[in-house]
C-alpha cells in the first residue's frame, strides 16, 4: 500500500511530554488539541464551513435530480488554455474519460456545484453527478445501483471506464463497488473525500440500519477489510484534520494491503467544504489526469 502522508500524525495524536521530563503529561494532548482548534487555519476553515453549509442549503433544492450525461461541446483538443494542455500533456485522451460524482448521506449533487464546474474548466469533457435515494438502507444496495448507473454512462458515452469521485458516504459506496462487486472493471480511478473508511464514532448516535454500517468495526467494514486480490482501481483517500463528521479524523484513511491506496491529509478543511476547497479540487484534477501525487511526499495540503 502506498501513501503520501506526512511522516507524523496530527499533533494531538502525537505523544506529548513536558520539556526535560520523560513522563508524559496527561493534559498535554488536550492543550495541543485546544491550540489546534483556535489556530488561524482552523478558524478560517470553520468559518468557510459555516458559509458553505448555508450556501449549500440554498442550492440543495436545485440538485434533486440526477444530472444527465453530456459532453462539454467546448472541449477541442489542442485549443485549450495552457494550464489545461499542461494537465493532459502526458495523456490527452484522459480528458475524455467521464467523471462520475457521488454525494454523501442525505445530500445530492448540489454539493459538487463548485467541483463540477472546476473540473470542466480544467478540461474534463464529461462530468456528471449521480443522485441516490436518501432512503437507501445499505451500502451494498447503493453500490449495485451505482454500478448500473456507470454502465449507462459507459453506454451513452462510448467509454469503457470512468473516474469516480465520492464525498463522505459516496466514497464508501464506490469503494464497495470496486472492491466487492467487480466494479474495478469499469472504474479507472476512485477519489474519496472525507469518507469514513474506518467508520465514525458519530454513527453510534443513530441506530438506523445504514448508520450502523458506519460504526467502527461494523460487519460492512469487516467485509471491506477482507482480501481483495487483483483489484485494479487505484484509490486516493483525501481526509481532513478538521472533519467534524469522520471521527477520529484518521478514520478517513483507506487502509488495505491489497488496494493501491494513496492517503492525502488536508489541514483546516471542514467535512462539507472538502468538495469546494481549491487544494482538494487541484488534487482531484491531477489524480484523474494521471499525475499520481501533486504534493510532495510528506507534505499535506493546507487550507
Q: Are 125 and 103 in contact (CB under 8 A)?
A: no
Average pLDDT of 7-28?
A: 40
For residue 133, pLDDT over 50 is answered with yes
Unique residue bearing C-alpha cell 482531484: 284
Could you tell me which residues are beta bridge partners of residue 235? 190, 261
Residue ranges and CATH numbers for the domains of the chain are: 39-68+85-302 (3.40.50.1820)
Task: For 87-119, give one letter per residue: b (16+ CB within 10 A) or e.
Answer: bbeeeeebbbbbbbbbbbbebbbbbbbbbbebb
Is 70 exceeded by the pLDDT of residue 264?
Answer: yes
Residue 254: pLDDT band with limits 50, 70, 90: very high
Averaged pLDDT for residues 28-36: 49
- pLDDT class of 275 with cuts at 50, 70, 90: very high
Q: Which residue has the higher pLDDT, 78 or 87?
A: 87
Q: Where are the beta strands (DSSP E) in 38-197?
A: 99-102, 127-130, 162-167, 187-193
Name the percent of the chain lying above pLDDT 70: 70
The yes-or-no verdict on residue 303 having pLDDT over 70 is no
Angle between helices 139-157 and 169-180 (to 10 degrees): 80
25: confidence class by pLDDT, cuts 50, 70, 90:
low
Is 205 a residue whose pLDDT tops 90? yes
pLDDT of residue 35: 56
Amino acid at each position: 500500500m502506498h501513501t503520501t502522508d506526512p511522516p507524523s500524525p496530527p499533533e494531538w495524536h502525537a505523544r506529548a511530554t513536558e520539556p526535560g521530563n520523560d513522563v508524559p503529561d496527561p493534559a498535554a494532548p488536550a492543550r495541543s488539541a485546544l491550540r489546534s482548534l483556535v489556530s488561524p487555519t482552523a478558524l478560517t476553515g470553520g468559518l468557510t464551513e459555516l458559509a458553505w453549509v448555508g450556501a449549500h442549503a440554498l442550492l440543495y433544492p436545485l440538485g434533486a435530480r440526477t444530472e444527465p450525461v453530456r459532453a462539454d461541446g467546448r472541449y477541442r483538443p489542442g485549443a485549450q488554455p495552457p494550464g489545461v494542455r499542461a494537465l493532459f500533456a502526458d495523456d490527452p485522451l484522459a480528458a475524455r474519460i467521464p467523471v462520475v460524482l457521488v454525494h454523501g448521506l442525505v445530500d445530492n449533487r448540489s454539493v459538487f456545484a463548485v467541483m463540477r464546474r472546476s473540473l470542466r474548466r480544467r478540461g474534463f469533457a464529461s462530468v456528471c453527478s449521480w443522485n441516490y435515494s436518501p432512503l437507501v438502507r445499505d451500502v451494498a444496495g447503493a453500490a449495485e445501483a451505482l454500478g448500473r448507473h456507470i454502465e449507462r454512462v459507459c453506454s451513452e458515452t462510448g467509454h469503457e471506464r470512468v473516474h469516480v469521485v465520492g464525498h463522505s458516504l459516496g466514497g464508501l459506496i464506490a469503494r464497495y463497488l470496486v472492491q466487492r462487486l467487480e466494479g474495478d472493471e469499469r472504474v479507472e480511478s476512485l477519489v474519496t473525500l472525507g469518507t469514513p473508511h474506518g467508520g465514525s464514532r458519530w454513527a453510534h448516535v443513530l441506530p438506523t440500519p445504514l448508520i450502523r454500517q458506519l460504526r467502527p468495526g461494523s460487519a460492512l467494514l469487516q467485509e471491506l477489510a477482507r482480501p481483495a486480490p487483483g483489484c485494479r482501481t487505484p484509490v486516493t483517500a483525501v481526509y481532513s484534520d478538521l472533519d467534524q463528521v469522520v471521527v477520529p479524523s484518521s478514520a478517513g484513511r483507506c487502509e488495505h494491503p491489497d488496494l493501491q491506496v494513496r492517503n492525502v491529509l488536508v489541514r483546516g478543511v471542514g467535512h462539507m467544504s472538502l468538495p469546494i476547497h481549491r487544494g482538494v479540487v487541484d488534487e482531484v484534477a491531477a489524480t484523474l489526469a494521471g499525475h499520481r501525487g501533486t504534493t510532495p511526499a510528506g507534505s499535506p495540503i493546507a487550507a
